[in-house]
Amino acid sequence: MPSPAAHALGGLAAAFLVASVRRRQFVTPAVLVASAAAAMAPDLDLLAGSHRTYTHSLGAVIVVGAMSWLIAQARHGYAMRTASILMAAYGSHLALDWMGKDTSIPPGFTALWPFSSAYYISGWNLFGEISRRYWLPQEFIFRNLQALAWELMVIVPLVIAAWITWSRRTLG
């Protein structure tokens, strides 16, 4: 499964793509930071010992959208725009994990929770696994650096393309 850096970049790409759907839809720095954070947030379930379950699901995307809408409505009134951007950013985590290698049992994540508790994975293995075994420096450092380099080669061009699409529609 991809690294936090890959997820943050995926969140930025999602933010620019959703914002580019409508002309003159500006994306503030705060929304970009929130998008990167939202894209990394599903992995906070590692702290609770329930990785790849509820937070990695369509149900969680809907909850994030509702919470984002409520917060944005109370703060500045651009609720639907902000909620849609943050939902897409959060959902980008699922898309990247779906294309990642996963050797855990069962492989994948509960993408359709609360409608199904089945685990889903594409099997494409576009992204390698990130080692959490910090006590094995050879694996933890070198394998993770190798995985990060690959992720950057794949995702940075997508972020650039999304930004160009957004900037042409918004600034042009």
The total domain count for the chain is: 1
Q: For residues 95 and 110, is the Cβ–Cβ distance under 8 A?
A: no
In eight-state DSSP terms, residue 57 is S
Given a cut of 80, whether residue 77 has pLDDT beyond it is no
In sign, the C-alpha dihedral spanning 79, 45, 17, 120 is negative
Which distant-in-sequence residues (6+ apart) come within 8 Å of 105 by Cβ?
none
Q: Quick: pLDDT tens for 93-142.
A: 999 999 999 999 999 999 999 999 999 999 999 999 899 888 999 889 99
Given a cut of 80, whether residue 24 has pLDDT beyond it is no
Q: For residues 38 and 84, is the Cβ–Cβ distance under 8 A?
A: no
Model confidence, pTM: 0.94
**Per-residue pLDDT at 172:** 67
**Per-residue pLDDT at 75:** 84
Q: For residues 42 and 22, is the Cβ–Cβ distance under 8 A?
A: no
Work out the number of other CB atoms within 10 angstroms of the CB of residue 104: 13
Q: Which domain holds residue 125?
A: 4-171
Tokens of 102: 């996963």
Could you identify the residue written with the tokens 């690294």?
3
